[in-house]
Structure formats: structure tokens, C-alpha cells
Amino acid sequence: MQRSRARRGPVVAVLGSILGLALGATPGFGADSGGVDAQVTVSPAAACIELSTASVNFGTLALGAENQAGAPGITITNCGDADASLMASGSNATGQAASWSLVDSAATCADTLGTDNYHLALADTLGAPIATLSTENKAVGTLTAAGSLDQVARISTACPGSSGAGKVMSMSINYVATTIVAPPIVLEPLTADQATADSAAAYLLPSSRNVDVAANCASNPTVACAGGVPGNPPPQVQVQATNVVTTQVPGTTTWNGSATLQAATLQSIPMTYNGISCTVTVDSATSGSPTLSGTYQESFLSYPTPGGQPNYVAIGSVSITGLDSGDVQIGGGFSCSLASTLVTFIIPQLENQISAYIEGNLCGDPGPAVWMACPALP
């Protein structure tokens, strides 16, 4: 306790001295004042929606009932100050010892719907269909700033013989809104036809393209990161494409694409595993099949109005397969020759890297004679 009091004494003395200086300041000086200007920039409001109801009831329906409306209707109001794109998804249905899978298709109980599957949809107040829902989000409208939409939930129950008879089945409809932001470029209208699909494919998969190998300095092994520093310029893989084919999915504005590919590194790729520095080269023609298989989808979409005149092509569902262990050569000495982990690590890395170069959005002129990568759009 004595030691504690000894420590406090000087502190009190210093404070007393400061207080004395403040109280004993020389009189005669006038008061002074100052001000600081301030400002704040308010960002655009985030997307905001309000729903008129928290629940919808379809009443009592038999198995096999088709396209029945729920009540009450749903009013979706934009509580933000910018236009918004509206998307919706549904869920599988559950009940006591029963479940139904949500199916987004035209199948009915009269053909291929099967048991324990059901449909959930949205329509306007006059019954015109808006969308058949799936467990993934899909566009269901556009909301102007402070505007609203009226929609009605509709259900087709699971087919006779399904589970759930005499039970209460529950499901959900989930809405998501995203603020519409004008892209930094003008999107030109496109014609969703075979010629345009083929033109986009030729841009995506030319006869030869060099693809950068992205550095990964945080993994073990590291990739393209000699001495812990990303390569500059990065090593590249040359990808050659032949037999590029696009086929329209019947009744849609989506085309499935496929191509035969060959891939070979233009420079050795530095890789470090457990502190051992090695190099890796890849050539798909080294062993087994000399080629890779590439598949993807082209979807003609409209921004910012879903369902409008297409003005960009979304490239997705890309899959590159076919590299095998015999296509990979490891250099760097005896220790590297034992690092089989490098082989199993680099194969999916390169396949994913090639996929990433193909995925994205394409914009073009109405012809289109010119294509370019365009911004990510909702």
C-alpha cells in the first residue's frame, strides 16, 4: 500500500501544476474561437424491398392439383431510391414424414413429373405466368424507384402416390433485389440466332490463345511465385482450339458449346513445395489423348430489363478436362522428382485457369462483327 501511495503523489502534483497554469493565465486577452468545415458524400442507397405479406396459403388441395393460386397476393415495393432488378427462388416442400422436390420444368403428372416433385410459380394478378421457380434465383421483374409489383404465388402439387397426403406441406418463396447500375459501356442489341452464337464462339475460342497462369503465393505448393513474388510477366499456357461447335437448346436462347483443345506451357511454371523449389511444364500431347475437352454455355440475356431484347451473352458452365499426369513434367533435381503432389495440384489449377479465361460476359455490335468482354451484370 505504501508503494501505491508513493506512485500517486507525483501524478497529483503534475495535475495540480497544470491546473494552476490554466487558472493563473495572464488576464487581459480576449476570447477566441475557430471553426472546421465538414462534409459527407452519401453513396447511392442499397437495394431495398418490402413485401405486403409474410405468408401465403394455398388452402386444401389434392395430390396432382395443377396451377392453383395462393392468397393473399404479394405486393413487392421498392423502398430504395434507385431502380432494381427483382429475382426470386423457391424451396423444396416439407411436412411430417414427407418432402417434395421443387422442379423447374414443363413436366406434369400426365408425363414425366414423377412422385414427390412439385412446381411453384409466380404469375401476375390476371394469371399470366411470370416464372416457374427453382431453388436458384431467376429474374421476375424490374422495380422502378419507389415503385411496386403485384404477383400471385401458384402451385402444382406433387402427383398422386407421393408422400404428404393428409399433411400440411410448407415451402418458401424468396425475393432478392439488386440495384440497377448503368454499365460503363452501351450495350447494343443482339440477335439470338445460330450465326451470332457461332460468332461469339469464334471469339471465345480462337485457333490459338495464350493464357496467363495466375500466381498463388499462399498455397503449398505455391504456383508462379518464385521467391515468394508473383511472376511478372506471368508464365503462360498456349491453348489451341478446333472443332468449335454450338448447338441451341430447343425453345431457349441458350446454346451449348464444345471444342477440342490442346494446351502447352510456353515457359516453365515455378512451384515450391515444402520449401523445395521446382519447375513444371505441361503439354497435353505428351501422353494419353493429345487433346482436352471443353464445354460451356452461351446465354443471350438482356440488361437491365430481363426478357427484353438480348444485348449481351453470358458465358458459363465452363468445363475443361483431359490433362493427365503424363502430360506434366517436373524439373529441379531429385527432390522435385519425388514431389508427385505437384502433378496432382497443377492439373486442376491449369484446367480452372483456362475455364476462367472463357467465362464472363460478351458484348458485341448487332452484326456482330466485333466482340469484347463486357462488365459483370446481374
CATH number at residue 198: 3.15.10
DSSP conformation class of 28 = T
- Domain range for 53 is 49-179
Q: What is the mean pLDDT of residues 143-147?
A: 86
Q: What is the mean pLDDT of residues 362-378?
A: 77
Question: Higher pLDDT residue, 180 or 49?
Answer: 49
Please check the confidence at residue 260 and state whether its pLDDT lies above 90.
yes
Instruction: Give the closest residue to 349 by CA, choosing from 240, 229, 225.
Output: 225
Cell of 372: 469484347
Rounded Cα gap, residues 87 and 139, in angstroms: 4
Confidence at residue 339, expressed as pLDDT on a 0 to 100 scale = 74
CATH code at 159? 2.60.40
Helices (H), 205-339: 334-337
Please check the confidence at residue 78 and state whether its pLDDT lies above 70.
yes
Question: Residue 82 — pLDDT band, cuts 50, 70, 90?
Answer: confident
Please check the confidence at residue 23 and state whether its pLDDT lies above 50.
no
Please check the confidence at residue 230 and state whether its pLDDT lies above 60.
yes
User: SS3 of 152, please?
Assistant: strand
- Among 156, 179, 202, residue at a domain's last position: 179
Confidence at residue 378, expressed as pLDDT on a 0 to 100 scale = 61
- The pTM (predicted TM-score) of the whole model is 0.54
In the chain, the number of structural domains is 2
Confidence at residue 304, expressed as pLDDT on a 0 to 100 scale = 82
Residue 163 covered by a domain = yes
Please check the confidence at residue 8 and state whether its pLDDT lies above 60.
no
Does 175 lie in the same domain as 206? no
- Give the phi and the psi of residue 88 in degrees, each rounded to 5: -145, 155
